[in-house]
Structure 1
């Protein structure tokens, strides 16, 4: 019996940068943004001061600037890959954790952990948030399977409505227990409070993103349906559960540490698809680079436009991401005519 490869055939839409060094150039651009990020902020930190050996400047650099920049990169990479995994599983380009109820469910989980386990450590809240995120994502996928005609534009609208219901219940509960201000810290992504000792949990999402890259082909196959996946010798339920766990854990960790960064997992994979095509193995590294660069750019803008005050990165990403989301919807709707 002939063996069947799980790697999808190369898509005819293979356009954009083909040269091997193009990814390295993009990575260099992200590295340049990371260096710029290290020296943007209220505290005066410059290369000259670092070379002079000023201990206070070095303390600010190592305790605040480096952890913040690492957190931005890790969150951007992980959320972009999580969105891509969810798109493969749902077979829809317009879904991501913030448009299917995953982020809202994670926020609800953190609120429940705060109410029932107020003294729980951050890891404990993360576990509760991950469980709620898995439940919310599973509910969305269950609803999706019951939609007779899975129109491209209907699917994200269903997810947004589901997320809106979960967010409404969470907000009402926070209001009743006088926790609205606490809830807002998780609903808007902000890196300003991240210092050494408060961002390290994000290294976990780097490991989860690497697992997602290794299993990306399997998620593509699983998105084709249970019968098709079984015929190729894959365990459909196990593959879908793995994707569900990866997306939920990534979303939960980022929400607990940083807060919600909407539309990131939707915009970045779509932009990469437009630029280089749909080959999964080739797309994931580009998604990681674009995700890190996009969040770094938004974070630098947020720190600069009202200097010395700071606009949370979640606000900047929401404005840019929602505009691009609408543009993608209009483009897809026009192309479908």
Structure 2
């Protein structure tokens, strides 16, 4: 699929998304109330969906390159679980500080969790393609259990459940702008795309080509940690996107990170936008959390990817 087709589909579904909601909006008879609704909720929601889809797709690709495994993503590496744990710590111990400082604390814990996961992988000799994400899921499960335990003990369990269910229902002007932090991280990912691709070939290849393996590895983890923390803080946990989108593009476009970035970004945004539309129309006028819809669609696509790679 060409970039022009992806851009056209993204534009069409964005227009459709604008007019889906409890209150009907007519393009040909917009009044002041309709315009206010558009600029306060509908347009910010679309922007948040597009940025989130682009960011999670690219985060998944970076994680897969760093770990040299196609089934690793922020969801299967414990990255999102570490982000939730960091958010809990920031709320408990730094609740009097600014929101940006709390975000920084969450990012630090996410970064530390990613480093721990990478260190675990270095200690594992049996690096089967399925075994590594299972290790990540177990690591994430441990972090998630610790988070739930402390949340129950400190009466923060409702907050934790809110972060678990990813949703764009509360996105509106004034409470979603934190997600714009993801954009410069995507630019950095594009600039260092070729070097991250080389890191995916192994440490020895990096040394032979004169590239600092540890620096690029740390940079990749930093990008993933910042983006994941910001997204979990803004809209919650969204499963599978970072896993399936890079794999689909890889099947048809190969493994060149820089060449695939645009396809992955647009495909991730398009996938999430379609999921959001379904989340709003399935039980209209109520809204289902997008994490449920993304989980259902994502799991079906993941099964297809497994069968596709097996047959390949």
- Kindly tell me: are residues 320 and 257 of structure 1, through their superposed partners in 2, closer, same or farther at Cα, counting changes over 3 Å? same
Give the deviation of 1:324 after TM superposition: 2.5
> What's the Cα RMSD here?
1.4
Give per-residue Cα distances to partners, 1:214-272, cap 9 Å, x unaligned.
Answer: 21111121122222211101111111110010000000000011111111111100111
- Kindly tell me: are residues 27 and 229 of structure 1, through their superposed partners in 2, closer, same or farther at Cα, counting changes over 3 Å? same
Give the deviation of 1:331 after TM superposition: 4.5
Q: 1: CA distance between counterparts of 2:106 and 2:303?
A: 29
Q: 1: CA distance between counterparts of 2:5 and 2:34?
A: 31
Give the deviation of 1:326 after TM superposition: 3.6
Match of 1:10?
none
Match of 2:7?
27
Q: How does 1:189-208 map to 2 (within 5 A)?
A: 189-208=166-185
**Aligned partner of 1:294 among 244, 260, 271:** 271
Match of 1:308?
285
**Aligned partner of 1:76 among 53, 69, 76:** 53
Match of 1:142?
119
Q: Please list every run of 5 or more consecutive structure 1 residues that lacks an aligned counterpart in the other structure.
A: 1-16
Q: 2: CA distance between counterparts of 1:296 and 1:93?
A: 24
Give the deviation of 1:49 after TM superposition: 2.8
Q: Please list every run of 5 or more consecutive structure 2 residues that lacks an aligned counterpart in the other structure.
A: none
Give the deviation of 1:330 after TM superposition: 4.7
Match of 2:107?
130
Does 1:212 pair with 2:192?
no
Q: How does 1:240-259 map to 2 (within 5 A)?
A: 240-259=217-236
Q: 1: CA distance between counterparts of 2:303 and 2:40?
A: 39
- How many corresponding residue pairs? 312
| Contact map agreement 2:61 2:257 (CA 8 A) in 1 | no
Give per-residue Cα distances to partners, 1:70-113, cap 9 Å, x unaligned.
Answer: 00000000110011011111111000001101100000000111
| Contact map agreement 1:72 1:292 (CA 8 A) in 2 | yes
Does 1:237 pair with 2:214?
yes
Give per-residue Cα distances to partners, 1:168-198, cap 9 Å, x unaligned.
Answer: 1101111111111111111111111011111
Q: How does 1:82-97 map to 2 (within 5 A)?
A: 82-97=59-74
